[in-house]
Amino acid sequence: MTYKNPPTTPRKSATFDDYTLSEIRRAAQTGIYDIRGAGAKRKLPHFDDLLFLGASISRYPLEGYRERCDTSVVLGSRHAKKPIELKIPITIAGMSFGSLSGPAKEALGRGATLSGTSTTTGDGGMTEEERGHSKQLVYQYLPSRYGMNPRDLRRADAIEVVVGQGAKPGGGGMLLGQKISDRVAEMRTLPKGIDQRSASRHPDWTGPDDLEIKILELREITDWEKPIYVKVGGARPYYDTALAVKAGADVVVVDGMQGGTAATQEVFIENVGQPTLACIRPAVQALQDLGMHRKVQLIVSGGIRNGADVAKALALGVDAVSIGTAALVALGDNDPRWEAEYNALGTTAGAYDDWHEGRDPAGITTQDPELMKRVDPIAAGRRLANYLKVMTLEAQTIARACGKNSLHNLEPEDLVALTIEAAAMAGVPLAGTNWIPGKNGF
Amino acid sequence: MPATTMPKAQSDQSHARVFDLAEHSLRELNQALHKLTPGSNETAWEVLHPRGSHSVAVGVDQPVSIDVRGSVGYYCAGMNDGATITVHGSAGPGVGENMMSGQIIIKGDASQYAGATGKGGLLVIEGNASSRCGISMKGIDIVVHGNIGHMSAFMAQSGNLVVLGDAGDALGDSIYEARLFVRGKVESLGADCIAKEMRPEHIALLQGLLDKAGVTGVKASEFKRYGSARTLYNFNIDNADAY
């Protein structure tokens, strides 16, 4: 009788997994790096790794639906004559006309306005659709300065100086030729159909001392009326926040690596920057060290999905959050109803991220006149407003359970972490212990 | 600056509204300029003692003339939209940044990023301009009597940059559709920027700009034209070495 070696199950490498192998083959075939939209897709320590404690003997809860739980927030009270007053602490992040269709921008404005919050322009300048339909509109001041003009600065409700974004701290923008329609080309003063490279740094200032002078100029142009935000990617949140405050910002926006982009290299999105959760406490600490916490407001974005995320961010010391990807999903992005068309593009609903190609079946990240008709700005705006309402109610539910009559009264002491990583990043105890990694020498 | 050494106002400014920054704040100056409405009688302004202040006469949107008697800091005449602003001195970084229309004249030198991202109007620098002159320009015309520094007209999108003297390294790097005219030597050209033929329409265009900028004794035919080779307009991996 001959002995036969038992066969082993074929084993794939954890290092060279299917995705990695497919990317090597794609790179070898095309000779160009992978460009895509959205933010980091890898698993990261996030708000899911935190839990609220709720009320107990030492803390009594507030009655759900009955006792008041305030959600309002004022942004820009430090220097601006006309700060922004929002009914909810959830704003819509900057997304450009060009990367998004006109109806999508209008829907964002409508949804935000119905909810008493602000929306934000993007790299393509201000459009009539969004100005007309946004009660409170934040006008981004970007390195490219596409479409920048003093009239729009003055009809904005706030100005956001964009230094970086979470998906690509230190990277510029990219809008590929297929999305450069006549209208987009005209707003950006560039020929139709060419790839547009948005600069990675501002053309007329570098460093915090220059930024202070730049902010002074913007204030002088707008007669000190508008709140001035400074937005940074989640790179060095402690120092970036401190330097933004020093430069005179009214509001600091910190965008973690889960924050989306219209188009950037996959390698950049997944390998540069810090997770949103890791950015919050250093940014809050910088404000506290300067005695400016709650005087300069902090907005955090990148992977905010529901009211629990909002409540957790606020408990860690944030004044408001901002949503981009989630807002697009509320409008209809990646909806399974377009599954057949996603399949035709070689992808599936929920995974579609080739926003730069301009062939979005949902009609949101496109300039194709036929595709963009799929977005009804009134209905999509309503969906966004519904979603914002649900998030707000969820956050209030948690806050009341923690005995808070304002979302802004939530505090780190209401939280524990499920993992050591999250405990260290958020500066809250590991569940079931009083251990905060990094505190007290341990 | 002691009164005895202060430059005297020009005779044509005798009816100008005089604003002394030694006595009033920058904010008062800019707000007074922003309050101007179309048809205002206050069409001539004179600013004394700027002493290197930043953001002098920014965001002006009426066709008034403003004479600044002395040197200014950053962003003088930023986002100018229709005014004629003359600096009787030198200008710090970002003079005339994002100008929409109108005219800015710098009697002395200009620092970095002069005319950055300008959308329209004419910026005349009678001295030299430092690095990154006309960076990301989007329709502005810039005329420099002297030399310009390195990386000028970086990513310049449209408009015209005219240099009577020399240009530094990497002129017109990653340029789009802006036109560059240089009379002297160019230290080096940036990625995708090439010398181009001066055709009659370019001579006519340049002569018009020289006339508008008050340049005399210089012929358009003495200049060379530079612009985009347009090889980097759509990404191609075989051009990666150029980036």
Domain ranges of chain A: 48-428
3-state helix, strand, coil in chain A (%, to 5): 40, 15, 45
Are the Cβ atoms of B78 and A221 closer than 8 angstroms? yes
Task: Outline where A316-376 has alpha helix (H).
Answer: 325-331, 339-344, 369-372
Q: Where does residue A372 fall: left (phi above 0), alpha (psi -120 to 50 degrees), or beta otherwise?
A: alpha
Are the Cβ atoms of A199 and B155 closer than 8 angstroms? yes
Are the Cβ atoms of A204 and B97 closer than 8 angstroms? yes
Q: What is the ipTM of this complex?
A: 0.92
Q: Tell whether the model's pLDDT for residue B1 goes beyond 50.
A: no
**How far apart are the CA of B80 and the nearest CA of chain A, in angstroms?**
8
The mean pLDDT value of chain A amounts to: 95
pTM for the structure as a whole: 0.94
Interval A277-282 mean pLDDT: 98
Q: Please report, rounded to a whole number, the percentage of residues in chain A having pLDDT higher than 90.
A: 84
Are the Cβ atoms of A205 and B94 closer than 8 angstroms? yes
Q: In chain B, which residue's Cα lies nearest the Cα of A216?
A: B55
End-to-end CA distance of chain B: 48
Interval B159-187 mean pLDDT: 97
Residue pointed to by tokens 């505190």:
A439
On chain B, the residues whose CB falls within 8 A of the CB of A216 are: 54-55
Q: Where does residue A270 fall: left (phi above 0), alpha (psi -120 to 50 degrees), or beta otherwise?
A: alpha
Burial B81-104 (b: 16+ CB within 10 A, else e): bbbbbbbbbbbbbbbbbbbbbbbb
What pLDDT is stored for residue B239 in this prediction?
A: 67
> What is the band of A384 on the pLDDT scale with cuts at 50, 70, 90?
very high
What pLDDT is stored for residue B13 in this prediction?
A: 52
What pLDDT is stored for residue B242 in this prediction?
A: 63
Are the Cβ atoms of B100 and A150 closer than 8 angstroms? yes
* β-pair partners for B47: B19, B68
Inter-chain CB pairs, A–B, below 8 Å: 105
> What is the band of A236 on the pLDDT scale with cuts at 50, 70, 90?
very high
**Is the Cβ–Cβ distance between A146 and A187 less than 8 Å?**
yes
What is each CA distance from B104 to A99, A150, A160, B100, in whole angstroms?
35, 17, 27, 11
What pLDDT is stored for residue B3 in this prediction?
A: 37
Q: In chain B, which residue's Cα lies nearest the Cα of A177?
A: B234
Query: Where would I find the beta strands (DSSP E) of B10-100?
Result: 17-20, 44-48, 65-69, 81-87
Any chain A CB within 8 A of the CB of B139?
yes
For residue range A50-80, list pLDDT tens digits in order: 999 999 998 899 998 789 999 999 999 999 9
Task: Outline where A182-275 has alpha helix (H).
Answer: 182-188, 207-221, 237-246, 266-271
What pLDDT is stored for residue A442 in this prediction?
A: 77
Tokens at B88, concatenated: 């009787």
Query: CB burial class (10 A; 0-12, 13-18, 19+) of residue A41?
Result: middle
Interval A117-145 mean pLDDT: 93
Are the Cβ atoms of A210 and B93 closer than 8 angstroms? yes
Residue pointed to by tokens 């910002």:
A249
End-to-end CA distance of chain A: 62
Q: Tell whether the model's pLDDT for residue A330 goes beyond 70.
A: yes
User: Chain B, 176-235: which have a CB under 8 Å from a chain A CB?
Assistant: 176-177, 233-235
* β-pair partners for B143: B124, B162
The CATH architecture assigned to A48-428 reads: Alpha-Beta Barrel (3.20)
Whole-number Å distance between alpha carbons of A346 and B200: 52
| Type of residue at A438 | G
Whole-number Å distance between alpha carbons of B109 and A267: 44
What pLDDT is stored for residue B5 in this prediction?
A: 38
Any chain A CB within 8 A of the CB of B61?
yes
